[in-house]
Amino acid sequence: TRESKLPTELVPRLREAAKKVNFDWDKDFAVTDNTCKTYEGKDALMMREQFAGKVVLQTEEQLAAASVRARSNAANSVQAQQIFFQNEVKEAENAFTYLEDKTVQFEKEIVKDVVGLEKEIVKDVVGLEKEIVKDVVGLEKEVVKDVVGL
């Protein structure tokens, strides 16, 4: 089912099915509650910060991995060309220079993409900060109401 809790009407069928394969439903299985928790205040803020931090790290790691792959592909291509053109050193050198230039271009594109990504992340963080400030102001108002009500 798609429900967060196991419907009680399914338990008799599950007991029978478990018994058929020599399991005891009550001893061998545990019913879990998959109800999503709601976070408020500091917990919600902390979860947002953790999520934003993970997104930044994942994106940075993916860009670094792509750069490493491109560099090693270029190196492997050069090695293959050197073997193929053993007697034609000049052509191999030209191919190496060409691949080196393309690698530099690729790295420049990655830097450009990273700068754009950083701007987006800064924009998102600023948005999160505004949300946090809004949440904190709301909490402060609630605290003031509670204190005044005492």
Secondary structure (DSSP) of 67-85? HHHHHHHHHHHHHHHHHHT
Q: What is the per-residue pLDDT across 11-68, written as a single tens digit (0 to 9) for each?
A: 999 999 999 999 999 999 888 877 777 767 777 777 777 777 666 666 777 777 777 7
**Coil, strand or helix at 22:** coil
- Render pLDDT for 125-143 as a digit per residue (tens, 0 to 9): 888 899 899 989 988 898 8
Contacts of 92 (CB under 8 A, 6+ apart): 78, 81, 82, 85
Measured between alpha carbons, how far is residue 137 from residues 52, 130, 146, 147 in Å? 22, 10, 14, 15
Q: Give the per-residue pLDDT at 22.
A: 92
Q: What is the pTM of this model?
A: 0.34
